[in-house]
Chain A
Amino acid sequence: MTVESRSQAMAIAPQAMRARPRLAVMASIIGGLLALFAMAWDLQLAPGSLFSGLDKLALFGAAAIPPSDGGQLPRILKALGETFAMAFAGTCLAAVAALPLGVLGAKTVISQPVVHFAFRRLLDWFRGVPALVWALILVSAFGLGPFGGVVALALADVPSLAKLFSEAIENCDSKPMEGVRSAGASPLSELRYGLAPQVAPVMASQCLYFLEGNFRNAAVLGIVGAGGIGFELEERIRIFAFDEALFIIALYMICVAGLDTLSQKLRARLA
Chain B
Amino acid sequence: MPLFNARVQVSLRPSVLDPAGEATRAAAARLGVEGVKRLRIGKAIELDLEAPDRATAQARLELLSDRLLANPVIEDWSLDLSDAG
Q: Do A and B form a real pair?
A: no
Contact surface of A with B, Cβ cutoff 8 Å: none
Which B residues are closer than 8 A to A by beta carbons?
Answer: none
